[in-house]
Amino acid sequence: MAIAEGPRSTGASRSRDADALLTALFARFCERGDLKALGLMLPAYLTDLGTEDDRVRLTTALHMVHAARWLPDDEQHILGAAISTLTGAVTTT
């Protein structure tokens, strides 16, 4: 599942600007025990090898959680910023 970690750690796959935002969100989800949000987003994040299909899978998962609006307001805002960073689009929180 974490196959993308190898290429990222060796520099073969570049890190994304949204990585810091997403890892901060994952930490918050773990602290709160929000397994639903973590379960929807983490698999797409960990398997992202940088292909267009992977980017679509990741942004789709992020959009699903964002649209559900079950996150606290601060996390909803961070998620919107991560989506904007990944897609270059502006999202509303």
Residue 44 · residue 27 · CB < 8 Å? no
pLDDT band at 1 (very low <50, low <70, confident <90, very high): very low
What pLDDT, on a 0 to 100 scale, did the predictor assign at position 68?
95
Residue range 20-45, pLDDT digits in tens: 999 999 999 999 999 999 999 999 99
Comparing 14 with 70, which gets the higher pLDDT?
70
Place of tokens 């397994």: 35
Q: CB atoms < 10 A from the CB of 60, how many?
A: 11
Q: Which of 16, 38, 26, 25 is nearest to 87 (CA)?
A: 16
What pLDDT, on a 0 to 100 scale, did the predictor assign at position 84?
94
pTM score, whole prediction: 0.80
Is 64 a residue whose pLDDT tops 90?
yes
